Structure 1
Amino acid sequence: MEYLAIVIIVLIAAFVKGVTGFGFALVSLPLLMFWFPAKELIPVLMFCNLFASILIVLQKKEYKLIDKKGQSLIIYGAIFTILGVATLNYIPDKALTAVIAIFFIIMSIFSLIKNKRIRFYNIGIYKTAGAICGFLTGCISVSGPPLALFLNQVNVSNKQFREIFAWFSITTATVALTGYYFAELLTWQTLKLSAISIPLLFVGSYVGKRLNQRIPQHLFEKLILGICIFSSIALLMKL
């Protein structure tokens, strides 16, 4: 039953990522936590994130897409990922589940609120955003929604968005997985789940990308966020 749940949930979450560009962990983590502990799942999602991001940066680029502000975002993300890993290693399982559920509810509600796009010129804002997203990456493997919200507020093109997002994910995931290894959070079960999930991620993402023009994206995103809120509330009630 557990492995059937993995196949179904990972395929759905990967499909969401293919349509929207992010949201894999946002959808999969709260649902998979009904069968697996959070500390077992977080490294799995990190492996998936790493491989998916590598494919993006390997695509041919016509010009340099990351400026100094983007670089500062990535560097501070990597530094604070270490703090996130240290926090994950010491936080109790039930407390971690509650933190993840509450965070997902807040982020889902915030994502439903449309904000006017503004421009940030202060590089300190990028460092702060990188630090927050890096900490979240190391601690709960979820930096996608807050990072997407931040990049949506700044004046970057779609290509820059994807490039910054991918390099941030590669850098922080590499740091986090190294930390998980030394914290003894990488187990055979984690590696087995990763081996199952990564191929499913590519299949679901491919289908999502093929169909993303046929699905009204704003309605689709609201449906997914609604599912995320519901599953997170159910997790809290389960504690």
Structure 2
Amino acid sequence: MKINYIFLLLALLAEIIGTIGGFGSSVFFVPIGNFYFDFYSVLGMTAIFHLSSNVSKIFLFKKGLDKKLLLYIGAPSVLFVIIGGFLSKIVDGLLLTIVLGVFLVIFSLFFLIKSEVVVLPNKKNAIIGGTLSGFSAGLLGTGGAIRGLTMAAFNLEKNAFIATSAFIDFLIDFSRTFVYYENGYIGKQELTYLPFLFAIGLIGTYLGKRILNYIPQERFRKLSLLFVLLIGLATIIQLTIKHWDKIS
């Protein structure tokens, strides 16, 4: 099978940006992958790709881990990624993907415009964010942006943000890999890309961390929200292009 090197280059960029933003590469990797492969192959690739990249993030940012958020966001994320993973086999993801894109645009714009608004860093908000991000990750392949919005509200120091997000992401990916394999999403094609994606996960995380050292803490939250806004817009544009014939 011929390897698509343009796709791999874009995957590297997704990993670098995902590391800087703090919510993982899937929010970029999934829309990129959908241009080259079918939806279910992208789900399988995303899970195995993230396992390597999140191990790298945990190693590089481990000193900043927030254990309370790991519990409050991570536990519901793991439970609902399994539920979402099984539902992905029977639910048409098109409408849900549109809803996700619109949601990300509206909420990121709200927090960017109303920067003085503070979401209380409480257990309830963390659990709701973990539930939504886990379910979205299982069903659509990406839930990091929702988790990014949740964690941005807690205004964590950037190393704590990335370390905690990566650990939660690792638990999510570890769980959904088994579900996706059972669903038949991980086959010969996906495994062929595995060594390339593993290397990209390591290299992209390292480069993203180096770049992040030059970003002041006060700009980090705004940068994260800008990435989420771009993700939402990219999702909507991608769907519009892909399904233009049905729309018109």
Question: What's the secondary structure of 1:186's corresponding residue?
Answer: coil
- Cα distance in structure 2, aligned partners of 1:168 and 1:8: 26
Aligned equivalent of 1:29: 30
1:90 aligns with 2:90: yes
CA distance in 2 between counterparts of 1:224 and 1:17 reads: 10
CA distance in 2, matches of 1:75, 1:125: 13
Hey, what does 1:3 align to over in structure 2? 4
Per the alignment, in what secondary structure is the counterpart of residue 117 of structure 1? coil
Distance in 2, matches of 1:45 and 1:30, equals 11
Matched residues in 2 for 1:43 and 1:82: separation? 14
SS at match of 1:90: coil
CA pair 233-75 structure 1, distance change in 2 beyond 3 A: same
**Contact map agreement 1:180 1:186 (CA 8 A) in 2:** yes
Provide the C-alpha distance between the structure 2 equivalents of 1:160 and 1:226, rounded to a whole number of angstroms. Answer: 23
Percent identical among aligned pairs is 18
1:124 aligns to what?
A: 124
- When residues 89 and 45 of structure 1 are mapped into structure 2, their CA distance, relative to the original with a 3 A threshold, is same
More moved, 193-202 vs 7-16: 193-202
Conserved 8 A contact 2:77-2:132: yes
Distance across 2 between alignment mates of 1:80 and 1:219: 28
What 5-or-longer segments of structure 1 have no aligned partner?
A: none
SS at structure 2 position matched to 1:22: coil
Q: Does the C-alpha gap of structure 1 residues 156 and 107 become closer, same or farther in structure 2, counting only changes over 3 Å?
A: same
Task: State the shift of 1:3 in Å.
Answer: 0.4
Cα distance in 1 between the residues matched to 2:172 and 2:164: 12
- State how far apart, in whole Å, the 1-side matches of 2:227 and 2:61 are: 33
Corresponding position of 1:15:
16
Matched, 1:107 2:104: yes
Q: 1:157 to 1:191 in 2, by over 3 A?
A: same
Note the 1:159-238 alignment, pairs <5 A.
159-212=159-212, 213=214, 222=226, 225-226=229-230, 229-230=233-234, 232-238=236-242
CA distance in 1, matches of 2:83, 2:199: 30
TM-score in terms of structure 1 length: 0.81
Does the aligned pair in 1 maintain the 2:7–2:36 contact within 8 Å?
no
Measured after TM superposition, the shift of residue 141 of structure 1 is 2.1
- CA deviation profile, 1:110-139 (whole Å, cap 9, x unmatched): 324424233233x33322222111111111
For residues 198 and 225 of structure 1, do their structure 2 counterparts lie closer, same or farther at Cα, with a shift above 3 Å needed?
farther
Q: Please tell me whether the aligned partners of residues 105 and 232 of structure 2 are also in contact (alpha carbons under 8 angstroms).
A: yes
What secondary structure, in the 3-state scheme, does the structure 2 residue paired with 1:57 have? helix
Letter in 1 for 2:36: W
Query: Separation in 1 of the partners of 2:180 and 2:80?
Result: 14
- Contact persistence 2:43–2:180 (CA under 8 A): no
CA distance in 1, matches of 2:233, 2:185: 27
**Counterpart for residue 39 of structure 1:** 40
What aligned pairs does 1:44-63 form with structure 2 within 5 A after superposition? 44-59=45-60
Alpha-carbon distance in structure 2 between the residues aligned to 1:48 and 1:142: 12
Please tell me the root mean square deviation across aligned C-alpha atoms, in Å: 3.1
Deviating more after overlay: 206-215 vs 28-37: 206-215
**Cα contact 2:21–2:227 (8 A) shared by 1:** no
Going from structure 1 to structure 2, the CA distance change for 1:88 and 1:223 (only over 3 Å counts) comes to closer
Give the whole-Å Cα distance in 1 for the aligned partners of 2:230 and 2:125: 30
Q: State the distance in 2 between where 1:76 and 1:99 align.
A: 20
| AA in 2 matched with 1:188 | K
Over 3 Å off, 4+ runs: 58-65, 155-160, 214-228
The TM-score with structure 2 as length reference comes to 0.79
Equivalences, count: 234
